[in-house]
Amino acid sequence: MGFEDIVEDLDKLKDPEKARVLSRFFKTGKGEYGEGDIFFGIPVPLQRKIAKKYPDLSLDDLQRLLSGKIHEHRLVALLILILKYRRSDRTGKSEIFNFYLKNTSGINNWDLVDLSAQHIIGDYLLLSDRALLQKLAQSKNLWERRIAIMSTFAFIRNQQFEDSLRIAEMLMHDKHDLIHKAVGWMLREVGKRDQEQLEQFLKKYSSEMPRTMLRYAIERFDEDKRKTYLKQPVIS
């Protein structure tokens, strides 16, 4: 089973009405962050089933899927890539890690990043030099910057917070709302495991953080503490 087979299987699952809804939700209009993305309207659970049917799809075929404009093609390709990564030895993981980095142009919506970055980039870097994340955080590409912070979820899950806080600091003044949300989310995850570390970070940066980032970061605080943070004057 190869490229043509998986494309045929996905084509059979098209749902035009859901596709219209998803196209609006993921901002595919002219000038929006998802401009040009094409949706089939296939629910993620069904895409996971398709991915499990094709765990041995070649990297060449995954390349073809990731290079296309159809969102579900790219999402299923990433789901398969995660499956392949988990079954691989360190050499195989290295190949998949590098393949992922060569294809960031196709990992170009927030769900694609959030579903995959921690499982491939983050997991691989648990045992490697993490300087790459700083390079990604400085990228002009919105999605590479989001990959940088979302990859650190793998570290957070392993009680390692330093890199998440470092990347959060680098992205503090990013202009895009999707980065504010991702950074705030990762800060919240740090706080779930070590609230003291999060509060130390907030003590230094909360007055200059974008409000969306701050709201995400303090979401689990009690109401009085949230209000205290949100009442602080914003330093522009």
Q: How far is CA 189 from the centre of its chain?
A: 14
Of 99, 92, 96, 115, the C-alpha closest to 67 is 99
User: Which residue's structure tokens are 């495991």?
Assistant: 193
Single-letter amino acid code for the residue at 132: L
User: DSSP string spanning 186-198?
Assistant: HHHHHHHH-HHHH
CATH 1.25.10.90 in the chain, residue ranges? 1-87, 109-236
As a CATH number, domain 1-87 is: 1.25.10.90
pLDDT, average across residues 153-173: 98
pLDDT in the model for residue 232? 78
Residue 159 and residue 197 in contact, taking contact as beta carbons nearer than 8 Å: no
CA–CA dist 47, 56 (Å, integer): 16
pLDDT tens digits along 26-62: 999 999 999 999 999 999 999 999 999 999 999 999 9
The counts of H helices and E strands in the chain are 16, 0
What are the pLDDT digits (tens) for 7-17?
Answer: 999 999 999 99
Angle ∠(134,136,137) on CA atoms, nearest 5: 60
Determine the pLDDT at residue 122.
98
Fold of 109-236: Leucine-rich Repeat Variant (1.25.10)
Summarize pLDDT for 176-228 with one digit per residue, the tens.
999 999 999 999 999 999 999 999 999 999 999 999 999 999 999 999 999 99
Is the pLDDT assigned to residue 236 strictly greater than 70? Answer: no
Across 16-40, b (16+ Cβ under 10 Å) vs e yields eeebeebbeebebeeeebbeebebb
- Average pLDDT for residues 101-107, to the nearest whole number? 97
SS3 content of the chain, % helix, strand, coil (to 5): 65, 0, 30
- Directed axis angle between helix 162-170 and helix 177-193, to 10°? 160
DSSP label at residue 38: B
Q: Name which residue leads in pLDDT, 87 or 1.
A: 87
What are 168-173's contacts with CB under 8 Å, separation 24+? 168/201, 169/205, 170/134, 170/137, 170/138, 171/137, 171/145, 172/205, 172/208, 172/209, 172/213, 173/208
Which secondary-structure segment (H or E) carries 23?
helix 16-25
Average pLDDT over residues 127-143: 97
Q: Per residue in 62-99, pLDDT tens?
A: 999 999 999 999 999 999 999 999 999 999 999 999 99
Cα(first)–Cα(last) distance of the chain, in Å?
A: 55
